[in-house]
Amino acid sequence: MTQKTGQRKWDLRKKMADISTEIAGVKFETCVFNAAGPADVTLKELEVIGKSKSSAITMKSCTLEPRKGNPEPRYADLEFGSINSMGLPNLGYKAYVKFSKIVKEKYAKPVVASISGMTLEDNIVIFKAFNDSPVDLIEFNPGSPNTIGKPIVGYDFQEMDRLLETVSKICKKPWGVKLPAYFDFVHYDQIAKVIKKYPVKFLTSVNSVGNGLVIDPNKEKTVIKPKGGFGGIGGRYIKYTALANVRKFYELLGRKIQIIGVGGVYTGVDAFEFILAGASAIQIGTAFLQKGPVIFAKAQKELLDFMEKKGYKNIEDVRGKLKTIN
């Protein structure tokens, strides 16, 4: 098969099925892009994402001041995913405001800021700075599970209410919230009630599942150093928890607030499952770190092939259409 023939077939495939999406009015060429966290700290890393098939450039969750993060080793690949206790290493928000201008001008795709200030006052300063930047969306990450001495804020519903109230008053960009994993129906209901009060445009669900512990039985040691070896679990280990969170939030909020699913996506079929559960888009984190930027094109092609095989024309034919056993 010649290169031109192959290109024609790819163009035809694009005409047959459409995996584009729209989040808060922002158009994404495909529904698959990178999650905040892995390999997105420096401008060089953001350029790699920009050159890849990721349909957006999501930048590292940033704090007011630069952070070195937790002591190493703080990340380990596992058989079906990863454990990390990175501690939000980043260059500080001013660097990402600057980077957003560079990558926005250079790459024809949306740019997503991720904000994770250590205090309410920090978040106010950072949000105001990004109001005057070219970022298309802001993802508010109020509670990393891997920051030493800091709680997972997403489990404190009163504090979440206070934070979202403040953000809603100062943020001029379309914004959403990155949530931890929830495990009880009453907690879904409680956080959904808080979120409904504010102009939240999307949810990103889920963050790494906090405070797992991985042990090397041969060395009789933990595999990472911070927090006595406790860290956030990612990858295939959390896929089913992530799917459950996406589904439940789709049931509670899906008509009003879009959902970006993340957690254990390695293939296009994984992405299809998240769309079926109710996601409007899918982020890839651990698999990007492990497989490199080729993962985006791979997952997109597999999703396209699977949808064509099943006769679907676009992701809205699929989104939220999960069947249950009667």
pLDDT of 105: 98
pLDDT tens-digit readout, 281-319 = 999 999 999 999 999 999 999 999 999 999 999 999 999
- Checking if the pLDDT of 65 tops 80, the result is yes
Per-chain mean pLDDT for the chain = 95
Q: What is the pLDDT of residues 199-233, one digit of tens each?
A: 999 999 999 999 999 999 999 999 999 999 999 99
Task: Give the mean model confidence (pLDDT) for residues 30-52.
Answer: 98
Which residues make Cβ contacts (< 8 Å) with residue 80, sequence separation at least 6?
A: 235, 236, 237
Residue 7 pLDDT exceeds 80: no
- pLDDT bin (cut points 50, 70, 90) of residue 6 is low
Question: Residue 32 CB: number of other CB atoms within 10 A?
Answer: 28
Task: Average the pLDDT over 25-50 and give the result.
Answer: 98
Only one residue has tokens 């700290």, namely: 41
Specify the fold of 18-70+94-209+237-317. Answer: TIM Barrel (3.20.20)
pLDDT tens per residue across span 133-184:
999 999 999 977 777 777 899 999 999 999 999 999 999 999 999 999 999 9
CB 105 within 8 A of CB 133: no
pLDDT (mean) for 184-207: 98
Domain limits, the chain: 18-70+94-209+237-317
pLDDT, residue 3, reads 57
Above 80 in pLDDT, residue 117?
Answer: yes
Note if the pTM is more than 0.85.
yes
Distance between CA 85 and CA 103 in Å, rounded? 28
CA distances from 151 to 143, 144, 147, 210 (A): 7, 8, 8, 10
| Angle at 28 (CA atoms; ends 33, 261), nearest 5 degrees | 45
Q: What would the mean pLDDT of 7-22 be, rounded to a whole number?
A: 68
- Percentage of the chain with pLDDT > 70? 95
Q: Which residues contact 1 (CB under 8 A, 6 or more apart)?
A: none
CA-wise closest residue to 279 among 234, 248, 310: 248
